[in-house]
Amino acid sequence: MVLQNPLKLPGKVYAAPSGSPLDALQRMGSGDARDHLVQAMLGSMKTPKEQKWQHGQGIPEIDVELDSTRKVTLPAKTAKDLEDAVKQVGGRRDPTPAETLRIQAQQFRPEVMMAVMCNLDSWVAKHGPAWSWTLFAVDVAAWYAANVVAVAKMAVQLERPTFAKFPGHAASAVISVPRYSAYPAGHATIVHAVKVVLDCVMAKAGPHIQIATSKMANDVIEGRERARLHTRFDSDAGAILGAEVGDALLKSANTDWKAVLDAAKEEW
């Protein structure tokens, strides 16, 4: 079963998803259209001025320009702030085996886990192997946020906490530690951007949606900190950036993206 693309975007035919939101997001052929939308909305985004940061120094304010009219300022932190944040992460308890598995599941596509948490399984169960504009909106929002945070990370090469192993558990594992900067936290940016979009798209489903998206976003962030991949400082900066990214998406003038949001809202 296929669905003709109703938008004038690259990639004329989509493979219809089936099963859970996890299956849907991993299998649906949305890449071309998604990438087209993201690149169009990123527009003339500028790379922040690179800061000459060295280990043991603080971090100044960093301005991330989403476009010519919107700038996000990430707060400055002193060297003592950073040192305290790392100590706090190092002192946390290790994850339980169940938590370890969940952190692993959230590692590469945190937006998928948000979709599951927000009960998008019910949509798939109701409609069967049909296209979901809600899932497509999640895919676009996550990819847009990932592009923004990748640019933001270029400003400061902040080292990650060095406690990535989970010893002493039946589900002991090593979560892969990316080499790029810990600041701002990419997962926090993505899940907060997706949260803003889902809260808008699924508003008619009821107030429990905002509770679910908040819970899932916090769960993803908490897991990354418990895995010792981020400090709360990294996460807070990502949350600030992600919320602004989500708001920018809702206010985007891109007509194709507006059509996606409208179609997604109609599913609820």
45 or 147: whose pLDDT is higher? 147
Highest-pLDDT range among 50-59, 125-134, 204-213 = 204-213
In a domain, 57, yes or no: no
**Is pLDDT of 192 > 90?**
yes
Averaged pLDDT for residues 2-31: 43
In a domain, 110, yes or no: yes
In a domain, 54, yes or no: no
What's the pLDDT at 227?
78
What's the pLDDT at 165?
60
6 or 268: whose pLDDT is higher? 268
**Is pLDDT of 189 > 50?**
yes
Is 253 strand, coil or helix? coil
In a domain, 69, yes or no: yes
Q: Which long-range contacts (CB under 8 A, 24 or more apart) does 73-81 make?
A: 74/152, 74/184, 74/237, 74/240, 74/241, 75/236, 75/237, 75/240, 77/233, 81/233
Averaged pLDDT for residues 179-183: 80
**Is pLDDT of 136 > 70?**
yes
Q: What mean pLDDT, rounded, does the chain reach?
A: 74
Highest-pLDDT range among 89-98, 178-187, 237-246 = 237-246
What's the pLDDT at 107?
72
User: What CATH number corresponds to the domain at position 177?
Assistant: 1.20.144
- Bridge-partner residues for 2, per DSSP? 15
Averaged pLDDT for residues 164-172: 54
Averaged pLDDT for residues 194-221: 87
Q: Are 233 and 183 in contact (CB under 8 A)?
A: yes
**Is pLDDT of 98 > 80?**
no
What is the band of 120 on the pLDDT scale with cuts at 50, 70, 90? low
What's the pLDDT at 36?
72
2-12, pLDDT tens digit by residue? 333 434 433 33
In a domain, 167, yes or no: yes
Number of domains in the chain: 1
100-119, pLDDT tens digit by residue? 777 777 776 776 666 655 55
pLDDT > 70 fraction of the chain, expressed in percent and rounded: 68
Is 181 strand, coil or helix? coil
Q: What pTM value is reported for the model?
A: 0.80
What is the span of the domain harbouring residue 37?
Answer: 2-49+62-266
Q: What is residue 177's DSSP assignment?
A: -
